[in-house]
Amino acid sequence: MPLSSPAGSGWRFTRSEVLPALAALVYSLARVLSGPANGLLTGKAGPAAAAVSALSLLMVFRLRHPVATAVVAVVGDWFVFAPGVMFLALFTLAQQGSLRSAWTLGAVSAVAGSLTPEATGIPYTLAFWGYYLARTLSYLLIPILVGRAFHAGQVRILTLSEHTAQLEREQRLLAERAQAQERTRIAQEMHDVVAHRVTHVVIHAGALKMHPERGPRWVTEQADLIRRAGVQALDELRAILGVLQPPGDEDKPSPLEPPGVRALERLVEGTRGTGTPVALTMDEAREPVPVGIRAVAYRLVQEGLTNAVRYAPGAAVQVELHHGTHALEVSVSNGPSTATVAPLPSGGHGLAGLRRRVEELGGHFGAGPGPDGGFRVAATIPLTTEPAPDRLQKENNDQGNAG
**DSSP-derived secondary structure for 163-208:** HHHHHHHHHHHHHHHHHHHHHHHHHHHHHHHHHHHHHHHHHHHHHH
Q: Which amino acid is at 279?
A: A
Rounded Cα distance between 174 and 3, Å, is 33
How many CB atoms are located within 10 Å of the residue 48 CB?
Answer: 25
Q: How far lies 252's CA from each of 163, 243, 291, in Å?
A: 40, 11, 18
Query: Cα 30 vs. chain centroid, distance in angstroms?
Result: 57
Distance of alpha carbon 217 from its chain centroid, rounded? 61
Say what the pLDDT of residue 202 is: 72
Digitized pLDDT (tens) for each residue of the chain, 403 residues in all = 455 556 666 677 787 778 888 888 888 777 777 765 555 555 566 777 788 788 888 888 888 888 888 888 877 777 777 777 888 888 888 888 787 888 888 777 777 666 665 545 566 667 667 766 777 777 778 888 888 888 888 888 888 888 888 899 998 899 888 888 877 777 776 766 666 667 777 776 777 767 767 777 777 777 777 777 777 676 666 666 665 555 554 444 444 444 567 778 888 888 887 778 899 998 877 777 887 788 888 888 988 888 888 888 888 999 999 988 888 999 999 988 776 655 454 555 578 878 888 988 889 999 998 888 889 999 999 987 544 444 444 444 544 443 3
Sorted by where each begins, the domain ranges of the chain are: 15-168, 266-403
Distance of alpha carbon 133 from alpha carbon 261, whole angstroms: 91
Q: Around Cβ 344, how many Cβ atoms within 10 Å?
A: 16
Please give the class, per CATH, of domain 266-403: alpha beta
Do residues 335 and 350 lie in contact, with contact meaning Cβ atoms separated by under 8 Å?
no
Residue 388: predicted pLDDT: 43
DSSP 8-state symbol, 362? T
The H or E element that residue 321 is part of is strand 317-323
Q: How far is residue 343 from each of residues 202, 347, 375, measured CA to CA in Å?
A: 11, 13, 17
Looking at residue 240, its pLDDT comes to: 62
Amino acid code (one letter) for 302 = Q
Q: What is the pLDDT of residues 154-163, one digit of tens each?
A: 888 888 888 8
Q: What is the pLDDT of residue 272?
A: 85
Distance CA(403)–CA(254), nearest Å, equals: 39
How many residues appear in the chain? Answer: 403
Predicted pLDDT at 340 = 61
Residue 403: the pLDDT is 39
According to the model, what pLDDT value does residue 266 have?
A: 82
Q: For the residues of 220-251, what is the DSSP string, one character each?
A: HHHHHHHHHHHHHHHHHHHHHHGGGPPTT-TT
pTM of the predicted model as reported, rounded to 2 decimal places: 0.44
